[in-house]
Structure 1
Amino acid sequence: MLHSILLPVDLSAPASWEKALPRALELAKGGTLHVMTVIPNFSSSMVGGFFEEGFIDRALHEIGEDLTKWVNDNIPKDQEVHPHVVHGRIYDEIIQAADRLDVDTIIMGASPADLTQYLLGPNAARVVRHSTRSVYVVRG
């Protein structure tokens, strides 16, 4: 059993969590499961200029409600769980959250493989390469 696990999920892509969630729940029994989703940044101020003022705050609130519903639908009631919604570069936010929350490990689903991703999705690959925490990648 691990004391604290971080499970990043993409609410719009079940493949990001369908295989990883059961493993995270198995390892988190008796411990804490942190579930997070990341609203990607715009990568450019020019792109960000097309969105109205307050967009990010509204998006954080709406995605937070969606994540809470996801947690209620997918996490057993007896599991201690804390949902987190952040905004930024996906892999950076995962690494920073893992450090801030002092988790034992990050459990991630690998995106479906293709040759351009060398069998591991780009965010999972960056987390594996740059995190100081153990990373458990669930393929599927």
Structure 2
Amino acid sequence: MYRSIIVAVDVAQLEKGERILQKAVALLDQGGRITLVNVVEELPTYLAIDVPTDLMGAARKDANDKLQELRDRAGVSATVDVRTGAPAHEILGAAQAYGADLIVLASHKPDFSNYLIGATADRVVRHAKCSVLVDR
């Protein structure tokens, strides 16, 4: 069982988020904590010029609202953390910041360069300092 679990959720695929959150709840020690993490990817500079200035703020607010709704619907006590940056890097940063002993994330359909699991899951698995559960 685990004392601190990071559940990395892609708000574009909340059904997977619900599934991995339930797995995390089943693996959590009594008195442990779950942190729901979503990462809003930064736009490259050459694209950021052409988009509205409040786009990133709106994306962060939307992600926060969806994670809170997911938490409330599941009926669990969890911290919500919306980060900005590269997904794998920010998930690993959250794991370190919260002292996580498990990261739970879902894998997207991989392309040829990441044949077995998706790119973010692949990077998290390779660089995590704690256990990682990848749901397919």
Superposition TM-score, scaled by structure 2 size: 0.87
Which protein has the bigger helix share? 2
Q: Which residue of structure 2 aligns with residue 23 of structure 1?
A: 23
1:6 equivalenced with 2:6 (yes/no) = yes
Aligned 8 A contact 1:16 1:111 in 2: no
Cα drift, residue 29 of structure 1: 4.6
> What is the alpha-carbon distance in structure 2 between the residues aligned to residue 19 and residue 66 of structure 1?
15
SS in 1 for 2:84: strand
Alignment of 1:27-42 (within 5 A): 27-30=27-30, 31-42=32-43
Q: Which residue of structure 2 aligns with residue 87 of structure 1?
A: 84
Question: How many matched pairs?
Answer: 135
Q: Which residue of structure 2 aligns with residue 125 of structure 1?
A: 122
Quick one: percent identity of the two aligned structures? 26
Superposition TM-score, scaled by structure 1 size: 0.85
Q: Which residue of structure 1 aligns with residue 47 of structure 2?
A: 47
Q: Which residue of structure 2 aligns with residue 99 of structure 1?
A: 96
> What is the alpha-carbon distance in structure 2 between the residues aligned to residue 20 and residue 112 of structure 1?
16
Q: Which residue of structure 2 aligns with residue 108 of structure 1?
A: 105
Cα drift, residue 18 of structure 1: 4.5
Specify whether residues 135 and 90 from structure 1 end up closer, same or farther in structure 2 by C-alpha distance, changes over 3 A only: same
> What is the alpha-carbon distance in structure 2 between the residues aligned to residue 59 and residue 17 of structure 1?
17
Aligned 8 A contact 1:16 1:110 in 2: no
Aligned 8 A contact 1:2 1:104 in 2: yes
> What is the alpha-carbon distance in structure 1 between the residues aligned to residue 61 and residue 19 of structure 2?
27
Cα drift, residue 55 of structure 1: 2.8
SS in 1 for 2:2: coil
Cα drift, residue 125 of structure 1: 0.3
SS in 2 for 1:102: coil
SS in 2 for 1:12: helix
